[in-house]
Amino acid sequence: AQSVSQHNHHVILSEAASLELGCNYSYGGTVNLFWYVQYPGQHLQLLLKYFSGDPLVKGIKGFEAEFIKSKFSFNLRKPSVQWSDTAEYFCAVKKLTGGGNKLTFGTGTQLKVEL
């Protein structure tokens, strides 16, 4: 069965530190990849997505992610985090063949940014 792994469950950073959150998936076929963010008290929002083309995708609020097909990875990065980036981050994968139309999510990474 397809799975999505986010190895960091809790991350604590100081403002201006760099961020990298790992995401690996197990499916070998063609996929669409997503990062969603959930700020405290808010609903899930799309941060960025990869469908095809340039494997380095840029999203909102200075976030970017790189798709490395050979490593089945889609890690999220930000060069300098802010206190307002405190949130839970979810990686999600959609199989383009045989997967229906559903997203398979990782268990999430809780990021806390301290002043």
Residue ranges in contact with other proteins by CB under 8 A: 4, 6, 32, 34, 36, 42-46, 49, 51, 90, 92, 94, 96, 100-108
Shortest Å distance, C-beta 12 to other proteins:
19
Residue with smaller CB distance to other proteins, 6 or 24: 6
Partners of residue 91 on adjacent β-strands: 35
Residue 51 or 83: the one with the smaller Cβ distance to other proteins is 51
Rounded CA separation 16/103 (Å): 32
Residue closest to 108 by CA, chosen among 4, 30, 31 = 4
The answer to whether the beta carbons of residues 79 and 16 sit under 8 Å apart is no
Least spacing, CB of residue 38 vs other proteins, in Å = 9
Q: Which is nearer to other proteins, 34 or 81 (CB)?
A: 34
For residue 9, give both structure tokens: 């469950």
